[in-house]
């Protein structure tokens, strides 16, 4: 996997934005066309969502899915905002800390499992991962009881705790597998320098971790923001419910107001989309020139 040379390797080139742009201009128009087509196909359902959110119930059904509204109305959006905005703050209070803690933890765990291994590291890795597969719906009742018995503070902190715990496997997976692709001799230099675990992590691994952080953060933020199951079971006070429970409640009881649901879903998805766009900048960074000594 990695070359073995006695001398430390030359610093790796930074893939700058210009680097990408230079390559981009040589890209065949065919590739561009393909990407564009896929983008259109991907956005088709979003189009239906949008268009439905501006209609009244009289023209909402399968037959009219593609049609533009005959009369545009903002009612659904107004109502969606009314119903969702009280809970938006809860979702932010939940998703931001939970994501941050979760990815930091994942990075540390992933590092330990791949680059600072201990006897049985692979067993631990499998142990962590396997637990990911339990269908949580089946155990929500004892789960809630367990949280009560463990005296986990109630409300949003409980939900943050839950997401951090249940995010351990996936974040460990993402980081471990990402770090596994980093050549070991990058750490050789640090080891020869007698750097300890945290020094190695801080000066070598962390600077290289940007894409993994992005990928992990995207996953965690999305899962946490969109989670309904844990939110509705672990938080009993409607005042503390995150936006997903409010979104679910737009289902109504007998008649489903499709326009309201679509407007609400789009509204609820905007913060996540913003996260994707913001984090996307860090995607550009590939391997940076490491802080190699000697």
Contact positions with other proteins (CB under 8 A) in 206-265: 211-212, 214-215, 218-219, 222, 225-226, 228, 232-233, 236-240, 244-245, 247-258, 261-262, 264-265
In the chain, how long is the greatest CA-to-CA distance?
75
Is residue 87 at the binding interface for other proteins, with CB under 8 A as the rule?
A: no
Question: In angstroms, rounded to a whole number, what is the distance separating the alpha carbons of residues 199 and 44?
Answer: 49
Is residue 6 at the binding interface for other proteins, with CB under 8 A as the rule?
A: no
Shortest Cβ 222–other proteins spacing (Å) = 6
Report how far apart, in Å, the C-alpha atoms of 134 and of each of 130, 131, 141 are.
8, 6, 14
Among 76, 160, 189, 224, binds other proteins (CB under 8 A): 160
Toward other proteins, which CB reaches closer, 74 or 273?
273
Is residue 132 at the binding interface for other proteins, with CB under 8 A as the rule?
A: yes
Report how far apart, in Å, the C-alpha atoms of 232 and of each of 10, 69, 229, 237, 262 are.
54, 34, 6, 9, 20
Q: How many residues bind other proteins (CB under 8 A)?
A: 153
Among 74, 273, 289, 291, binds other proteins (CB under 8 A): 273
- Give me the helices (H) in 115-136, please: 121-130
DSSP three-state, residue 154: coil
Which residue from 100, 94, 90, 83 is spatially nearest to 267, judged by alpha carbons? 83
Shortest Cβ 209–other proteins spacing (Å) = 10
Toward other proteins, which CB reaches closer, 72 or 130?
130
């Amino acid at each position: 996997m990695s070359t073995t040379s006695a001398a430390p390797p030359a610093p790796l080139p930074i893939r700058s934005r210009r680097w990408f742009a230079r390559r981009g201009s040589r890209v065949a128009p065919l590739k561009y066309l393909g990407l564009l087509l896929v983008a259109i196909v991907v956005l088709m359902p979003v189009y239906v969502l949008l268009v439905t959110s501006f209609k009244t119930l009289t023209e909402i059904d399968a037959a009219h899915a593609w049609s533009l509204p005959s009369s545009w109305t903002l009612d659904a959006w107004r109502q969606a905002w009314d119903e969702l905005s009280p809970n938006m703050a809860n979702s932010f209070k939940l998703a931001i800390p939970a994501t941050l803690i979760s990815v930091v933890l994942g990075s540390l765990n992933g590092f330990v499992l791949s680059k600072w291994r201990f006897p049985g590291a692979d067993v631990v890795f499998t142990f962590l991962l396997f637990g990911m597969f339990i269908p949580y719906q089946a155990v929500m009742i004892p789960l809630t009881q367990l949280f009560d018995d463990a005296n986990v503070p109630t409300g949003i902190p409980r939900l943050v705790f839950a997401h951090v715990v249940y995010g351990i496997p996936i974040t460990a997976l993402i980081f471990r597998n990402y770090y596994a692709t980093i050549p070991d001799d990058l750490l050789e230099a640090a080891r020869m320098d007698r750097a300890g675990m945290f020094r190695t992590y801080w000066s070598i691994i962390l600077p290289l971790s940007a894409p993994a952080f992005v990928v992990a953060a995207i996953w965690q933020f999305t899962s946490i923001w969109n989670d309904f199951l844990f939110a509705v079971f672990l938080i009993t006070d409607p005042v503390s419910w995150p936006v997903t429970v409010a979104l679910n409640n737009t289902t109504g009881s007998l008649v489903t107001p499709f326009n309201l649901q679509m407007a609400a879903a789009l509204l609820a998805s905007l913060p996540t989309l913003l996260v994707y766009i913001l984090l996307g900048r860090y995607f550009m960074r590939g391997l940076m020139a490491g802080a190699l000594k000697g």
